[in-house]
Amino acid sequence: MSGMTTRPDRGGEQPPRPPAVETSVPPIPEQPGAQRTADLPEVTRPATADVPPTVGEPAVDDGPAPRPDRAQYGVCAFLALVGGLVILDATTRIGHAVNSADPIGPRPVPILLGVLLLIVAAIYAVDVACGGAGEPEAGEDVDLTTPIDWRTVLLLIGAFLVNAVLIDRLGWVISGTLLFWGSAFALGNRHYVRNLLIAVALSLITFYTFAIGLGVNLPAGVLQGIL
């Protein structure tokens, strides 16, 4: 039995169904004289995609090879010079003091250090010749175009010279105080009283550290008998 029901008021006849709607797309008529793609010869048939074959990865141009930093050869020469001087000093000036407490003597250690310096200088020179170079410090904010602050440099040199001249006469505590206070002033600190107190404290701490901790007596100068 079909899903359609009859109604008695219309004599038992089923209602007419709506006509079916055509959903298919009518074929496109071919133009006269045109050929279908399937009828084209193999040579003239259009290609699906013109993708050139990949032969290999293109070569990456890294630019010219880095040149060796010739200034580094000066460091190599300095290390070699120091190593040669250490060996020369060990073989000529240092005596052959050998006893039962020290059967080796004082010569082997400086000779070993001199040889190691020569080896380091040779390895460093080979590395520089092969293009090796140290990486610049990334954490420092240095503007290489800024001129040198000669005033600060000269003030620091003056503070060290004053300390060298007065350390035997006035003693380390006074000369060291002048050194620390003068260095802070040269570097731009203008808290004079606070810097003076810190300089005195640092001088006293270093004086007693050398005297008590290391057994080295720094010059007391005019404060001899007080310290």
pLDDT tens-place values along the chain, 227 residues long = 445 555 555 555 566 666 665 555 555 655 555 555 555 555 555 555 555 555 555 555 555 556 667 778 888 999 999 999 999 988 887 766 555 566 667 778 889 999 999 999 999 999 888 887 766 666 556 666 778 889 999 999 999 999 999 999 999 999 999 999 999 999 999 999 999 999 999 999 999 999 888 888 889 889 888 87
Distance CA 57, CA 117 (A): 46
Cα–Cα distances (Å) from 19 to 12, 14, 22, 91, 218, in that order, read: 21, 15, 9, 121, 120
Closest of 51, 131, 117 to residue 82, by C-alpha: 117
Helices 172-186 and 192-208, axial angle in degrees (round to 10): 140
H or E element at residue 112 = helix 108-129
Which token pair is 94? 């240092």
Reduce the DSSP state of residue 221 to 3 states and report it.
helix
Domain residue ranges of the chain, discontinuous segments joined by +:
72-95+105-129, 150-223
Distance CA 200, CA 158 (A): 19
Amino acid code (one letter) for 221:
G
Cβ neighbours, 10 Å, residue 207: 20
Closest of 169, 166, 163 to residue 186, by C-alpha: 163
Query: Who's near 97: CB < 8 A, 6+ residues apart?
Result: 105, 106
Distance CA 6, CA 177 (A): 122
Q: Please report the pLDDT score of residue 62 as a whole number.
A: 56
